[in-house]
Homo-oligomer: A and B are copies of this chain.
Amino acid sequence: MAMVCLSDFEAYAKKYLPKIAWDYFAAGADDCTTRDENILAYKRIRFRPRVLRDVSVMDTGTKILGSEISFPVGIAPTGFHQLAWPDGEKSTARAARAMNTCYIASTYSTCTLEEISAAAPGGLRWFQLYIHRNRAASQQLVRRAEALGFRGLVLTADLPYTGKRRDDVRNGFRLPPHMKVKNLEGAFEVCKMSPLDPSVTWNDIYWLRSLTRLPIIIKGILTREDAELAVRHGVQGIIVSNHGGRQLDEGPATIDALVEVVEAVRGRVEVYVDGGIRKGSDVLKALALGAKCVFIGRPALWGLAYKGEEGLQDVLRILQDEFRLSMALAGCASVSEIGQHLVQLSKL
């Protein structure tokens, strides 16, 4: 079976993953409208390709928060990579480093931060965290990540409670007994409630700021109002995200929200986007609309499910190749030439 595009990896993962794992990764909230809209919204955007520009020397490289990456596609934080591949997040870390891009490790990893670091020393990594009821646990995680050389903290803002994912409810989803959310082991024994704190507000950004010198990136912003608040509270980056459509169903597609957020931010901080990226040309669209970089969630898991580190590299390489080709066919030789003139938003 030739792996030509990302949907080949999706088909493979759907066929070979245990149903409960596939369902968990594929799940969207409620009717899955937003999950699917993330993809459809890209298809409504039309390019305005330019011709006869010298595209003989192509450069897909860019920087995020000062770090160079070889192309503007990173790995979004998703949990439980051992559900996709035995080595779990260690494979993810190795693939990201091999492709010279950024990997955002999730709090809900099935490997510890220490294992992830050791697996791919020197790789560019950010750490995703929630603020827990037990603030000491969060503080400890931040300190560990900083000590291990993670270069950014990604605060997830859109999960005060977990969205309703019907298939997970039907399947009674839980981790198999041999897998653990290792980063949190021991931290929550006294707590029978969900460890996440739904009372978190913007002021907690200040608390987080007080713990660390790492840049703070806030993930889950969908409106201009919250983008403005994020900038005012001193974050260094924003990830426009709807959690892959797994939280509030029938919110906006992220590529649609990106336009609003970029306009509000006016270049004061870097803006990224995740959700719905399936082709290199989607990356080009996101950058044309102001994203500095995109992050992929499910496609990374499909790559892992296919062949672990190697499969994820395949996925990233396909995206890089497609992105480079799309740039060239649109008339851009480097990322700096990409701009809003390349796209026409649907009049819809």
Measured CB to CB, the residues of A under 8 A from B are 2, 4-5, 30-31, 33, 43, 45-56, 157-158, 160-161, 163-164, 166, 169-170, 197-202, 204-205, 220-223, 225-226, 229, 242, 247-252, 279, 281, 285, 322, 325-326, 328-330, 344, 347-348
Contact = CB atoms under 8 A, between A and B. Distances in A.
A229 B47 CA distance: 18
A46 B252 contact: yes
Contacts of A281: 30, 248-250
Contacts of A198: 54-56, 328
Given A198-B54, A198-B55, A251 B2 contact: no
B160 A251 contact: no
A250 B204 CA distance: 42
A226 B347 contact: no
A20 to B, nearest CB: 14
Contact of A326 (B31, B248, B329): B248
B48 A251 contact: yes
A166 B322 CA distance: 12
B160 A329 contact: yes
B329 A221 contact: no
Contact of A158 (B157, B329, B344): B329
A250 B43 contact: yes
Nearest to A221: B51
Main secondary structure of the interface of A (DSSP, over half): loop
B30 A279 contact: yes
Most chain B beta-carbon neighbours within 10 Å: one of A169, A205, A222: A222
What are the nearest 4 A-B pairs in CB distance?
A56-B199, A248-B329, A51-B157, A56-B198
Given A46-B252, A329-B247, A52 B4 contact: no
Given A2-B170, A250-B285, A252-B344, 9 more contacts: A4-B166, A31-B43, A49-B247, A52-B226, A56-B197, A158-B329, A161-B325, A164-B322, A249-B279
B54 A199 contact: yes
A164 B48 contact: no
A157 B225 CA distance: 42
A150 B53 CA distance: 28
A47 B169 contact: no
5 contacts: A5-B164, A48-B223, A50-B225, A56-B199, A252-B344
B329 A161 contact: yes
A157 B248 contact: no
A202 B157 contact: no
A56 B197 CA distance: 7
Contacts of A347: 348
A4 B165 CA distance: 10
B226 A50 contact: yes
Contacts of A329: 158, 160-161, 163, 247-248
B161 A328 contact: yes
A290 B47 CA distance: 22
Given A5-B166, A166-B5, A281-B30, A204 B52 contact: yes
Contact of A160 (B55, B166, B285): B55
A332 B204 CA distance: 18
A197 B229 CA distance: 49
